[in-house]
Amino acid sequence: MLQRERLFIDCIRLILNQCCEQPQREVAKLTGCTQLGAVYRGAGECEFCVWAPLLDHVQVHILTPEDHYVPLRKNAAGYHTAVTKCEPGSLYKYQLPDENEWPDPASRSQPQGVHGPSEVIDLQTPEQPITWPGIALKDYIIYELHVGTFSASGDFDGIIPQITHLKELGVTAVELMPIAAFPGRRNWGYDGVYPYAVQESYGGPEGLKRLVDALHENGLAVILDVVYNHFGPEGNYLSNFGPYFTDRYCTPWGMALNFDGPYSDHVRRFFIENGLYWVTNFGIDALRLDAVHGITDFSAFHLLEEMTAAIHERAQTLRRRIHVIAESDLNDARLVRSRELGGYGLDAQWNDDFHHAVHALLTGESTGYYSDFGKINHLARGYSNGYVYADDYSVFRRRRHGNSSKAVPAERFVVFSQNHDQIGNRMLGERLSELADTEAVKAGAAVVLLSPNIPLLFMGEEYAETARFPYFVDHSDEALLAAVQEGRKLEFSGFEWEVEPPIPHSEDIFQSAKLNLDLAREGVHKSIFDFYKELIHLRKTLLALQFPSKDRMEVIGYEPQKIMLVRRWYQSAEVVMVFHFGKNNRVLNFPFPQGDWTALMDSADEKWSGPGSKAPEAIGSDNEVTLELSPFQLLLYERKDTERSER
């Protein structure tokens, strides 16, 4: 790139950064407080700040240690504030003009549950600031887990002893499903109602800090799943304070949040500040934004762009790598396109198309959204382009869907063969290992971990965990529980599953989802665990796999043979992968890159509990080979004399 072009792009980037920073700075000036909620300032003083623009007056009722009321002062922007004597551990609620009292919308802690009082906690800058710099996005190998079911104790402290398991596996980042305060003691986390408060049954804010510190000490990044598209149905008292919601739109989960209507500047501030809270106070390295297709914002400066820019600016201030990752089913490349090119500038997004293409090939399922998938070319498109549907007609949707992601770098897509949604949103919560045989499970692992994208594993898949991961809740309202159960039935009507969904609020259902990590040391489970470890080792050490790039990759799908051939290279290093998705043993003749090749991985090998392989350990190709392949077999060949690397 010419120097003049670099200067032009730098100028545009500077202008865009200044534009995105200005709105939040202007909103902050109006608040009369630097942060929302109850912020302990030290020396026995606490600053309270709550946004309630339509209320004339608000008092903070400090319940402990000494019961008393403190009037708050309202400013022109509708923020009610006061600085008063108050120590960490004090419980409080806000009293509104009708004399009803409610927890703080920006509560940092709810020790007595979502209906109880909020708690003042001390989150002053620690004596030893967070020095963990984070890791580059291309080096992320993500392990998604649910805090409540990952360990017997079901809390943050229960995860720490298992970090050795994660290190042995080779993952580089741990993604925590939502931990914001939710009703009861068990929940997926997507019914949270206090975005700033860490779920008490998980260990509260101090437990989260201990876990993040322990993961960082072991070289693992931490991703936090946050929900900014809706609030849960129980314990949601936001509407008592102000116009946080709008009736102009709706979501599948309830009222839509007001991100583009009157007063929306302050609603946006509430959520952007929440993202900054996690990365600043707890050292979170990346945020995974849940279902951003449920965020409706028709303003010229979209919430996602504003939030991402604010987090990237904070990352520069903290001198850390901090990433923003979205979940979206829109197949809209604007999410991850750079802001200079008119995008929102997020760092990456989950690619559901990739999962659906893999799942349909491995299981043969063709109902619901799987009706759009099932061919080798679907997976080949996901590998080479990103989205499978890019302005293509979707039978499931009965319309065209998506736009092109061909120009989007491979490392901006997170791919998986399993995740919490695709398992838990099944009626019974079956894992892939229950729906397909061992060879298919290994094929799913290989196609994800050897892809040029960011791979994600769901807890337990690395050893074929037998426990299902069903949907579970712990609401206290009987009518709400009945509504949830009925909603689950309606949700699965399009999949033609002829069974009743489990009762989500059953304690037994929750307990049945607990992992048994000891399985990773036994029989076929150990073989699968070792297989996953080897795939990750190859991803880290083969130069051709280390540097994700669509430009250094060739993908060809052979539909009749059920084969996908992938060639990847970097400088003089080169590998070829053969993925066979056929369900029968077959002798196949097909094109193969010219040269001498050595086998590095054969999924049918008996050491991986495979049926045994007849594939050669070395190939001399004149642009064509004949191979005898078993069902769902992966072969990875490296060109002889290629460069190797250790990381």
Tens-digit pLDDT profile for residues 185-195: 999 999 999 99
**Distances 363 to 303, 357, 358, 382, 426 between C-alpha atoms, Å:** 38, 10, 9, 18, 14
Phi-psi bin for 285: left (phi > 0), alpha (psi -120 to 50), beta?
alpha
Cα–Cα distances (Å) from 589 to 394, 622, 627, in that order, read 33, 12, 6
For the question of residue 290 being annotated catalytic, the response is yes
Length of the chain: 647
Out of 47, 139, 260, 290, pick the active-site residue. 290
Which regions in the chain score pLDDT beneath 70?
Answer: 1-32, 124-129, 489, 491-498, 642-647
623 CB-contact burial (10 Å; exposed 0-12 / middle 13-18 / buried 19+): exposed
Reported in sequence order, the residue ranges of 229-283 that DSSP labels E, i.e. its strands, are 245-251, 254-257
Task: Report the helix count and the strand count for the chain, using DSSP H and E.
Answer: 16, 31
For residue 25, the model assigns a pLDDT of 52
pTM: 0.94
Amino acid at 540: K
Query: What are the tokens at 9?
Result: 């792009």
Contacts of 10 (CB under 8 A, 6+ apart): none
Q: What is the pLDDT of residues 142-155, one digit of tens each?
A: 999 999 999 999 99
- How does DSSP assign 431-442, residue by residue? -HHHHS-HHHHH
Type and span of the H or E element at 586: strand 586-591
CA distance 88 to 131: 25
- Measured CA to CA in angstroms, residue 453 lies from 279, 335, 416, 512 at distances of 24, 16, 10, 32
Would you state the torsion angle of the CA atoms of residues 406, 412, 417, 422, taken in this order, to the nearest 10 degrees? -100
Q: Strand, coil or helix: what is 621?
A: strand
Distance CA(345)–CA(408), nearest Å, equals 11
**Residues 119, 191, 327, 465: which is the catalytic one?**
327
Distance CA(491)–CA(425), nearest Å, equals: 9
Cβ-count burial 133-154 (b if 16+ within 10 Å, e if not) = ebbebbbbbbbbbbbbbbbeeb
pLDDT at 645: 56
